Amino acid sequence: MSRTLAFLGLGAMGRPMAGHLARYTAETGGRTLVWNRTPERAETHAREFGSEAVGLAGVAAADVIFTCLPTSAEVDGVLAALEGQLRPGTAWVDCTSGHPEAARRQSSRLAGQGVAFLDAPVSGGTAGAEAGKLTVMVGGDAGALAAVRDSFAFAGKVVHVGGTGAGFSVKAVNNALLAVTLWATGEGLAALARGGVNLGAALEVINASSGRSNASQNLIGQRVLTREFPATFGLGLLAKDAGIAADVVRTAGASAPVLMSVEALMRAAATVVGPEADHTAALRLIEQMNGTELR
């Protein structure tokens, strides 16, 4: 279907995601408009992918507006700047790992302008974004999703998980689980390192055994033991997600002591190691706590 799409936020995730939108609209006869706070990134995107760099007001021409910003606070900022300029019938798809309470507030604010809001965070990392194979977990009206689903050109899987805010809740819990397995595996390896065990051999065993996880199989060997820590997903963003998961636990009146602890651990790691470091660098705090290096 020929549509005008817009993408706001051309960061590590947004740049390749918007690239897939531009390829999709080139094939279907539509347009992809891109906006970024630092405009040079949008101009580079236009040259690289054939999208069209626009000023913020220009995105109001789109039928579907995608956002992928650090937190719901930055989404609030662009929403406020576009207040009164959006056309009824537009859909706003927020791919930020945002906060469920913000989603409910933003959804009702946009409904007043005739705009449908979907919280649609993604998983799969920068590799999934480059490959166009992201998993999208969507909260909001199922009919609104059905109307725009064919525009999700960056997705390998799209799952409707419930009403407004449910997508952000699922994303937060997923990332809290990432934080738990990353941290716990780091603790185990630090204990083994102090005991003189070879960590490459230990990881080889864990990855063929019941203690394995995405962190053990795809992160720790490649990023920590190599000492490379390539920055693809910021530690500050993971700490933010763990904080949202803790809010989800509190709002639900649930009992989840491990998830509550991992928020504190990620915040401590982000403070000590730095929020811009890759999330796997959280294990540098475990190294400091144990006086050993994971290598």
Query: Would you tell me which residues interact with ligand NDP (CB under 6 A)?
Result: 9-14, 36-38, 41, 68-70, 74, 77, 96-97, 122-123, 125-126, 232-233, 237
How many CA atoms lie less than 13 Å away from 131 in the CB half-sphere? Answer: 11
Place of tokens 């994303």: 171
> Residue 45 CB, nearest distance to ligand NDP (Å)?
10
CB of 104 to ligand NDP, least distance (A): 18
* Strand partners of residue 135: 123, 157
Nearest to ligand NDP of 58, 188 (CB atom)? 58
- 10 Å CB burial of residue 61 (0-12, 13-18, 19+) is middle
Q: Which is nearer to ligand NDP, 76 or 187 (CB)?
A: 76
What residue number has its CB nearest to ligand NDP?
A: 11
Phi-psi category of 291—alpha, beta or left, where left has phi over 0 and alpha has psi -120 to 50? left
List beta partners, residue 67: 8, 94
Which residue's CB is nearer to ligand NDP, number 90 or number 97?
A: 97
Distance of closest approach, residue 209 Cβ to ligand NDP, in angstroms: 27
For the bound state, the minimum distance from the C-beta of residue 122 to ligand NDP, rounded and expressed in Å, comes to 5
Look at residue 108 and give its three-state secondary structure: helix
In the complex, what is the shortest distance from the CB of residue 1 to ligand NDP, in angstroms, rounded to a whole number?
26
Closest by Cα among 116, 108, 127 to 151: 116
* CA gap 167, 286 in Å, rounded: 31
The nearest distance, CB 230 to ligand NDP, in angstroms, is 11
For 196, the token pair is 């003189």
Q: Which of 198, 271 has the CB closer to ligand NDP?
A: 271
- Dist CA 130 CA 124 (whole Å): 10
Q: Which amino acid is at 260?
A: M
User: Which residue lies nearer to ligand NDP by CB, 118 or 199?
Assistant: 118
Based on CB atoms, which residue is closest to ligand NDP, 80 or 291? 80
